[in-house]
Structure 1
Amino acid sequence: MPKLTKSVVDKSLPRESQYTIWCSELKGFGAFILPSGTRTYFVDYRNANNVRRRMKLGRHGTVTAEQARTLAIQALAEVAKGNDPLENRNSARKAITVKELCEHYIKELEEGRILGKGGRPKKASTKVTDLGRINRHIIPLIGKVQVTHLTKADVTAMMKDIMAGKTRLSEKTTKLRGRSVVRGGYGAASRTVGLLGGILSYARDELGIIEINPAHGVRKPKDAVRTRRLNEDEYRALGRILKDAALDDRYTRTTEIIQLLALTGCRRAEIIEVRWSEIDSAGSAFRLDDTKEGQSVRPIGLPVLEYFDERRSEGTEGESLYAFPGRDDEKAFGSFPRHWEKIFQDTELKDVTAHVLRHSFASIANDLGFTEITIAALLGHASGSITSRYVHTLDAALVMAADTVSGYIQALMDGAELSHTHYALDRGSRKAALARFLAPRSDVPEKEVGKERLAA
């Protein structure tokens, strides 16, 4: 049993079950090694009531072996005075305010120890949103309240203050011409209560500060359902607006991104940050490594495929990891929000957002008669969690759907006047399509007829 040092702890390899290594020089000081490889320092002692206690001192890497040894010596000195350092620590934790809890949560968040959907660390964009809600709403309204004294009534009062716009503000940021605008409202109130519930669950499950989460059961306002979609005339207007904007070289790339958003239904960041390695031309699909739902496979229609094929033929692939690089090729295109505002200001579509294009894509797919599961697969919705398997086993059907929807939208943006029918209900079209499929081809050798039918 050697002296507990950094090298000793580093050399202690994980096993199938947790085990402990002890320090030969300081009785009660040790570290336990988890199967995951996590190493945590602790000190063992018996309090004045002769009850054995084990107090964690910190994870190896977060604290050094010598820092942990110092903490252990301090704890044992408190024991010698008749105190219980673990009880004192727990009491201090329980006395923390909501602001102090949030600061602790933020530290864990930044170190990747707060998990989001699917048990993965929260994404960078989600962290920014969480920090905004904590600093703009939670801390200003209830930051001074002691966590153990927080009630459901306090949470409800915070929610109503956000709904009423009590935390509304507009201020300059450190970025050039940057401004932070906080509006509050029903949606912000609902989502902030949801975040607070997660923070309080962390306080309950990880820190043991509270036993009941006061945010649970709070009746939240229903978030406004966004129903805005483009009609066919507005798609034609979108095509004209983008065509005019593309005449200015500054906006050429932005107009192409907007067009791809319209033709794919992807989220804004999914197109702006798409990498060449994620564009599968042979499979006519995006194979995205990191989206809101994790890895995602999306079939893409022919207009989108041909756009990227043309870009590849120009030799742009290989210049950057990203299909739309910024000024620094190591980063994605960064001027999109400012360009979007310039392109659409003073037009009939000034209220359109990237989400409106996504919702409109889904609505057009629905108009064309595609099912919910097909639309979910096209959009990469979490409800379509079978999307990856669906794409691989029925990939021709999904690519056909992507072709149909993106082709229809592209035609509208080009100014076409179209009439569509729900294929599943159009008996005449179904009979005509079946007849074409079954008709013998006199110009094709018999052994090739099957292949031609499949191609049809």
Structure 2
Amino acid sequence: MGSPETEMPTLKFTKTAIESARPEKSDYELRDTVVPGFLCKVTPSGRKVFMLSYRTVGGNRRKPAIGQFGELTVEQARSLAQDWQALVRAGGDPSLDKTRARANPTIREFCEQFIEQHSIPHNKPGTVRRNRQNIKNHIIPVLGKIKVADLTRPDVSALMMQLAHTPGAANTTLACLKKMFNCAELWGYRADGTNPCRLIPRYPERKRTRLIKNRELESLFAYLDRADAEGLEHPSFTFGIRLQFAFAARMSEIISMQWEWIDFHERRVVWPDSKTGGISKPLTEEAITLLARVPRREGSRFVCPAIHTHDRHLSHHSYWCAWKRIIEAAGLAHVGTHGIRHRAATDIANSGVPLRVGMALTAHKTVTTFMRYVHIEDDQVRLAAEKVSKRRAAIIKGNNTAKTPTIDEDAVIAGGMLDASAQTEVGFHG
């Protein structure tokens, strides 16, 4: 057994002194005379391990290994011992730091913990699937072997550069990583305020959803009428599209809608859950007419039941395929089902309703998000250009009666020009 610390052999550690120490039947320790607490443990196998003995600020005794003689020289080990003593005097605990570093997971290991402990309990299933996809395809192949505590901002920046050819994937991967490292700080794997994703810029993305123009809207609804009259499409699809326009809704909100959520007396529909949580929207005359006209399938709780299995709602795939067929038949250029929501939001903004009311109709949480859905129509731009041209012509002719134009608040909101100060005034922040 090793001798008590008071009886340890003491000597000035040198290369010759450590080499001359012979193994015994049990471990024993040597104490350096130069640096207090600096030890060398000699094992029966002949291994010689440098250590530091100290007490923490809380009074706990620690004796972590610094390194093995041969891998470290005496002077290197002594220098590390002095550095550790400085940390102890500053209130640190090098032994605990070593334990935490050893237990710190790799990013590959941490990804599964993130999915199980954060993403599944807090995110929608679609977000969980997207997180898994980004982790599998982008994060683990490049960063998987790095310890969570060791990931740096240049590492993240290099990953983003590799994904520069796919800006959408790069941005969703960055968002996933940023949330992961927020959790890493929360769970003690990194120090607070060290998220390596901070300051990494997102890539600009091409605007994906275009506005369904007025003539296209006319053509679309003319085809929906013809499809209903001639049986060209299943009524569940044409009804769903009409209802999506009426509610300025997401596709998922329409196909999942249940009859029990509709209160005809209060003229309101309440979705218990959606992409942004529970939402509530009023029933317009248009919506009431649509809901009263649609045949209700016996035994189905869904407003838009699946074609062959009425106990389930229409699938995303079948609805999307029907939408694609319908817009092609109506002569529209390609636009996703989200184009319905963009068109509805634009109509809401251009109707002159207050901003708060418009956001309630689309169930958007922030002004910034709502304004992303509002498009400036060609006729608005053309009319504005004509007004500017006429005013300039009047000034050139010397007509000093030309009035200084005033800003139309509703027009500014509809045109997507609401600035940060206006956002603050209405109580929303992007």
Range of TM-score over shorter length? 0.5 to 0.7
Q: Deviations over 1:158-177 (max 9, x none)?
A: 1222221xxxxxxxxxxxxx
Q: CA deviation at 1:89?
A: 6.3
- Counterpart of 1:102? 111
- Counterpart of 1:292? 275
CA separation of 1:109 and 1:330: change in aligned 2, threshold 3 A: farther
Q: Deviations over 1:240-267 (max 9, x none)?
A: 3333444446532112111111222101
- Counterpart of 2:301? 321
Contact 2:106–2:144 at 8 Å: present in 1 too?
yes
- Aligned to 1:382, the other structure's residue is in SS state coil
Q: Deviations over 1:243-298 (max 9, x none)?
A: 34444465321121111112221011011101111112122222111022222111
The question of 1:242 aligning with 2:224 is answered yes
Q: CA deviation at 1:227?
A: 6.2
CA–CA distance in 2 between the matches of 1:342 and 1:225? 23
Whichever residue aligns with residue 137 of structure 1, its letter is H
CA–CA distance in 2 between the matches of 1:351 and 1:315? 31
CA–CA distance in 2 between the matches of 1:190 and 1:197? 10
CA–CA distance in 1 between the matches of 2:153 and 2:255? 41
CA–CA distance in 2 between the matches of 1:136 and 1:285? 43
Q: Which of 223, 228, 231 is the aligned partner of 2:213?
A: 231
Q: CA deviation at 1:376?
A: 0.4
Larger Rg: 2
CA separation of 1:372 and 1:124: change in aligned 2, threshold 3 A: same
CA separation of 1:261 and 1:102: change in aligned 2, threshold 3 A: same
Consecutive unaligned residues in structure 1, runs of 5 or more: 1-46, 54-83, 113-120, 165-184, 385-421, 426-456
CA separation of 1:344 and 1:137: change in aligned 2, threshold 3 A: farther
Whichever residue aligns with residue 159 of structure 1, its letter is M
Please give the TM-score of this superposition, normalised by the length of structure 2.
0.58
Q: Deviations over 1:100-155 (max 9, x none)?
A: 2112212224652xxxxxxxx21222212222222222223322333222111111
> 1:51-200 counterparts in 2 under 5 A?
51=60, 90-94=100-104, 96-109=105-118, 112=121, 121-164=122-165, 185-200=166-181
Q: Deviations over 1:343-363 (max 9, x none)?
A: 334653242212211111111
Q: Which of 182, 188, 201 is the aligned partner of 1:201?
A: 182
Q: Which of 272, 276, 286 is the aligned partner of 2:255?
A: 272
- Aligned to 1:291, the other structure's residue is in SS state coil
Contact 1:261–1:354 at 8 Å: present in 2 too?
no
CA–CA distance in 2 between the matches of 1:253 and 1:51? 71
CA separation of 1:152 and 1:85: change in aligned 2, threshold 3 A: closer
CA–CA distance in 1 between the matches of 2:125 and 2:355? 30
What value does the CA root-mean-square deviation take over the aligned residues?
A: 3.2
- Aligned to 2:114, the other structure's residue is in SS state helix
Whichever residue aligns with residue 252 of structure 1, its letter is P
Q: Deviations over 1:161-210 (max 9, x none)?
A: 2221xxxxxxxxxxxxxxxxxxxx22332222111100011111114345
CA separation of 1:139 and 1:368: change in aligned 2, threshold 3 A: same
Q: Deviations over 1:45-89 (max 9, x none)?
A: xx9967399xxxxxxxxxxxxxxxxxxxxxxxxxxxxxx998786
CA–CA distance in 2 between the matches of 1:222 and 1:382? 22
Contact 1:279–1:287 at 8 Å: present in 2 too?
yes
CA separation of 1:305 and 1:357: change in aligned 2, threshold 3 A: same
CA separation of 1:152 and 1:305: change in aligned 2, threshold 3 A: same
CA separation of 1:152 and 1:346: change in aligned 2, threshold 3 A: farther
- Aligned to 1:140, the other structure's residue is in SS state helix
Contact 1:141–1:158 at 8 Å: present in 2 too?
yes
Contact 2:209–2:336 at 8 Å: present in 1 too?
no
CA separation of 1:238 and 1:92: change in aligned 2, threshold 3 A: farther
Please give the TM-score of this superposition, normalised by the length of structure 1.
0.55
Q: CA deviation at 1:235?
A: 0.5
CA separation of 1:293 and 1:283: change in aligned 2, threshold 3 A: same
- Counterpart of 1:332? 313
Q: Which of 363, 367, 377 is the aligned partner of 1:380?
A: 363
RCO higher in 1 or 2 (8 Å CA, sep ≥ 6)?
1
- Counterpart of 2:400? none
Q: CA deviation at 1:371?
A: 2.3
CA separation of 1:101 and 1:308: change in aligned 2, threshold 3 A: same
CA–CA distance in 1 between the matches of 2:220 and 2:156? 43
